[in-house]
Amino acid sequence: MFTTRPGIIDVFGVASSTHRPASRAATGVERAGNASRRATVAGGLMLQVVEPQFNGPGDVVPILQWRAIDQPARCVDVQAWASAPATPVAFAQRGFEQAPGYAAAAEFTLRRTLPMLPVTVCLNLLDELSQAQDLDSAMRQVDAYRRLLVGPGEFSINLNVTTADDPPNEVQLRRIYSSNGGQFPVAGRKRKLLNRWTRTLFGEGRVFVAEGAPMLAELFDDYEHMAPLGLNAAINVPLLQGKHCVATFNVFGTRGCWQDQEILAARLLATAAARWVTPAPGLHYTLDAEPA
């Protein structure tokens, strides 16, 4: 018998799909003692995440629609997908009587409108971090994945070392990791006054995204050290303990703006790094509420 697919044999049960994380999800659910149908659902849901361009409403899908008011039934058979500008009118204006084939449309749409975070890369990072011995070795691994997922630039973690002895509306930071120790040395300190950066991170516990050299120059006192390196965009993720920001996970880029998947990658990397960051003793800070 000739086959183009490998044979899979197991004494417990097998799960096979077009993407490794989906197969792992289904196998894990089944081996945890769940029914095969639950494993199938788990694998299918993972495929929606790692291969949205090939599954469900993103690709081949039959949709049966029925309205209770007038009770008409319609069937929509979706066989491909394309980006928003790829309308029949747009193709007609370019001399096409029909839309181009699936492969051409899919390649364009995948690269322009469905950028995906490599799930396998994230799984590898989590596996490697579990083997790290200390903060420095763990952050070197995080930094390697930061360059892969977010692109060129710099990365640092600043520990919030503010105490009750410091004035209100001020945050004292001490750098505990730097991808460029020569330019931004570890143990370097910063004093941050109340502005939209401190309010967003330390008051609201939200991610701050800065794009463009003018914005960085406004918010960062040490921008004169960033400019020669071509740094002109920043993602600052608060590492939270309860309602307090105990540290900031800082990514600086060189392209002037961020794509959505890059911001997501930075946030996921910050989550992975948080377990290695110990809050400073005596941490205490107060910020005035934003005026109504």
Domain positions in the chain: 82-114, 119-276
Could you give the 3-state DSSP secondary structure of residue 123? helix
The winner for highest mean pLDDT among 23-32, 199-208, 252-261 is 199-208
* pLDDT for the residue numbered 270: 92
Mean predicted confidence (pLDDT) in 257-277: 88
Tens digit of pLDDT for each residue in 76-112? 555 555 556 666 556 555 655 555 554 444 433 333 3
Which range (104-113, 128-137, 194-203) has the least confidence?
A: 104-113
Across 6-20, 51-65, 90-104, 231-245, least confident range: 90-104
Fold of 119-276: Beta-Lactamase (3.30.450)
Listed in sequence order, the residues at least 6 apart from 17 whose beta carbon sits closer than 8 Å to its beta carbon are: 23, 26, 43, 47
> Which residues lie across from 230 on neighbouring strands?
none
DSSP result, 229-261: GT--EEEEEEEEETTEEEEEEEEEESSSS--HH
d(CA 213, CA 132): 35
Greatest alpha-carbon pair distance for the chain in Å reads: 79
pLDDT in tens, 142-182: 988 888 888 889 999 999 999 999 999 999 999 999 998 88
Residue 36 has pLDDT above 80, yes or no: no
The whole-number pLDDT of residue 183 equals 82
* pLDDT of the residue at 289: 72
- pLDDT of the residue at 186: 87
pLDDT surpassing 80 at residue 2: no
The pLDDT-based confidence of 257 (bands split at 50, 70, 90) is: confident
> Helices 20-31 and 36-50 meet at what angle, rounded to 10?
160
| pTM of the entire predicted model | 0.60
Number of H helices, E strands in the chain: 10, 8
How far is the CA of 100 from the CAs of 20, 52, 109, 257, in angstroms?
A: 31, 21, 12, 32
Top-confidence residue, 75 or 263:
263
